[in-house]
Chains A and B, each alone.
Chain A
Amino acid sequence: MSTDTDVDVTARARDILGVSRLTNSALTGWLHGLPGVDQVGCEARAASLSTRSIKTSSKAWAVDTAISMIDLTTLEGADTPGKVRGLAARALVPDPSDPTTPRPAAVCVYGDMVPFAKEVLGEHPVNVAAVATAFPSGRASRAVKLADTRDAVANGADEIDMVIDRGAFLTGDYRAVFDEVAETRAACGEARLKVIMETGELVTYDNVRRASWLSMLAGADFIKTSTGKISPAATLPVTLVMLEAVRDWRELTGDQVGVKPAGGIRTSKDAIKYLVTVNEVAGEDWLDNHWFRFGASSLLNDLILQRQKMATGAYSGGDYVADDAPSGY
Chain B
Amino acid sequence: MPTFEYAPAPESRAVVDIRNSYGLFVGGEFVDAEGGTAFKTVNPATEEVLAEVAEAGEADVDAAVRAARNAYTRVWSRMSGADRGKYLYRIARIIQERAREFAVLETLDNGKPIRESRDVDVPLVAAHFFYHAGWADKLEYASLGADPRPVGVVGQVIPWNFPLLMLAWKVAPALACGNTVVLKPAETTPLTALLFAEVCQQADLPPGVVNIVTGAGATGQAIVDHPGIDKLAFTGSTAVGKMIARSIAGTRKKATLELGGKAANIVFDDAAIDQAVEGIVDGIFFNQGHVCCAGSRILVQESIAEELDHRLKRRLGTLRVGDPLDKNTDVGAINSRTQLERIEEMVKVGEAEGAERWDSGCDLPVDGFWFRPTVFSNVSQSHRIAQEEIFGPVVSVLTFRTPGEAVAKANNTPYGLSAGIWTEKGSRILWMADQLRAGVVWANTFNKFDPTSPFGGYKESGYGREGGRHGLEAYVKTGAGE
Contacts from A to B (Cβ < 8 Å)? 35-38, 40-42, 44-45, 51-59, 61-62, 65, 244, 275-276, 279-280, 284, 287
Contacts and interface: CB of A to CB of B under 8 A. Distances in A.
A58 B6 contact: yes
Contacts of A54: 6-7, 9
B445 A53 contact: no
A36 B424 contact: yes
A40 B5 contact: no
Interface size class of B (residues with CB under 8 A): 20 to 34
A57 B275 contact: no
Nearest to B2: A284
A45 B7 contact: no
A48 to B, nearest CB: 8
B327 A35 contact: no
A303 B318 CA distance: 27
Contacts of A36: 270-272, 424
Closest 10 CB pairs of A and B: A41-B275, A53-B9, A38-B272, A53-B327, A38-B275, A284-B3, A35-B273, A58-B7, A36-B272, A56-B7
Interface in B270-291: 270-275, 278-279
Contacts of A62: 4
A40 B444 contact: yes
A37 B318 contact: no
Given A41-B445, A51-B119, A280-B318, A61 B272 contact: no
B12 to A, nearest CB: 12
Nearest to B274: A244
A287 B9 contact: no
A35 B3 CA distance: 30
Contacts of A279: 3-4
A44 B7 contact: no
Given A41-B279, A42-B274, A287 B7 contact: no
Contact of B115 (A42, A51, A61, A284): A51
B418 interface: no
Contacts, number: 70
Contact of B4 (A40, A55, A284): A284
Contacts of A44: 278
A106 to B, nearest CB: 21
Interface of B: 2-9, 115, 119, 270-275, 278-279, 318, 327-328, 424, 444-445
A35 B272 contact: yes
A45 B270 contact: no
B372 to A, nearest CB: 18
B275 A37 contact: yes
Nearest to B3: A284
A59 B327 CA distance: 14
A173 to B, nearest CB: 24
B327 A51 contact: yes
11 contacts: A36-B270, A36-B272, A38-B444, A42-B274, A45-B278, A52-B328, A53-B328, A54-B7, A55-B8, A57-B5, A280-B318
Contacts of B327: 51-53
Contacts of B3: 279, 284, 287
Nearest to A42: B275
Nearest to B310: A251
A275 B5 CA distance: 12
A45 B4 contact: no
Contacts of B424: 36, 38
Contact of A57 (B2, B7, B115, B279): B7
A35 B9 contact: no
A38 B443 CA distance: 11
A249 to B, nearest CB: 14
Contact of A40 (B274, B318, B328, B445): B445
Contacts of A41: 272, 274-275, 278-279, 444-445
Contact of B5 (A37, A58, A244): A58
A40 B275 CA distance: 9
Nearest to A41: B275
A53 B114 CA distance: 12
